Amino acid sequence: MPTQVFRTAAAVFGPAEIANLTEAYNTALSSIDEQTLRLDVPGHELRRRLASRIIEEAKRGQSDPKLLAERALAALAA
């Protein structure tokens, strides 16, 4: 996860939640197809948006890494 976003998450979530966030981030990042998403943003910005969206979903109560990744990707594609 991008360092700044990760620090924000560490202040809010415990170790188990951080592990879920990290798993979701890595899953989502490995499945990104930039042509499918049609994003014209630099890679670092894409990663920041992805991490931020995962954290937002987790703050809403979602803890399943697979669902966190899916929702973050769906939000980026919208």
pTM: 0.79
| Tokens 């042509």, residue located | 35
Sequence spans of domains, the chain: 3-77
Count of CA atoms in the C-beta half-sphere (13 A) of 8: 14
73: Cβ contacts below 8 Å, ≥ 6 apart: 28, 31, 32, 37, 50
One-letter-per-residue 3-state SS of 12-23: HCCHHHHHHHHH
Other beta carbons within 10 angstroms of residue 32's beta carbon come to: 17
Question: Which of 22, 16, 32 is closest to 55 using CA atoms?
Answer: 22
Per-residue pLDDT tens over the stretch 22-73: 999 999 988 887 555 666 777 788 889 999 999 999 999 999 999 999 999 9
